[in-house]
Amino acid sequence: GLGDQTQDKFFYQKALAAYQEGIRLFGDKNVLIYWNAGKIAEYLEDYNLAESYYRRSIAISPGYEDPYRNLADLYRFKMHKEQKDIIAVYEEGLEATGGNANLFLEKCSYLRFSANYPEALACYQTLSKNYPDNSGYQDTIKELEGKIK
């Protein structure tokens, strides 16, 4: 949209107003309205509003992985929440999505880059077991084993 092209917050505010009208009209029937409203609110730096929209989209459609990812990133990069809060989002999403592989990989990556090496190692070992042909997981396991010693 125009907001993406111009990076003008005016257009993002207009987009958020349109999503809020969609919420008013459709209520709890459309996960994408809440999810997109969350992304716009996050861009506008209204992090509490973004969090509430992501949470609402999760409540509407718990099996949809994207709001968990967005919420974890919001907590991590914008709200600077504690690791336990971020991990809780990943765990909630993994449970609700039946262990979505992309969400699991993101959790593993988060653990690795937050220096939680033992848990990251266990995570990557699981990935390597499930995807034995992925040499990148083996390399990451070696790296993590070196950091733990």
pLDDT at 149: 84
Question: Running DSSP on this structure, what letter comes out for residue 131?
Answer: -
pTM of the model: 0.90
* DSSP per residue, 134-148: -HHHHHHHHHHHHHH
pLDDT at 1: 53
Angstrom CA distances, 14 to 21, 37, 97, stand at 11, 11, 32
pLDDT at 145: 97
Q: How far apart are CA 16 and CA 103, in angstroms?
A: 27
Question: Running DSSP on this structure, what letter comes out for residue 30?
Answer: -
Identify the three-state secondary structure at position 98. Answer: coil
pLDDT at 117: 98
* DSSP per residue, 69-86: HHHHHIIIIIS---HHHH
In 3D space, the residue among 32, 109, 44, 110 whose CA is nearest the CA of residue 78 turns out to be: 44
Q: Could you read off the pLDDT tens digit of each residue along the chain, which spans 149 residues?
A: 544 555 678 889 998 999 999 999 987 788 999 999 999 999 999 999 999 999 999 999 999 999 999 999 999 999 999 999 999 999 999 999 999 999 999 999 999 999 999 999 999 999 999 999 999 999 999 999 999 98
pLDDT at 7: 64
Q: How far apart are CA 50 and CA 89, in angstroms?
A: 15
Q: How far apart are CA 117 and CA 3, in angstroms?
A: 39
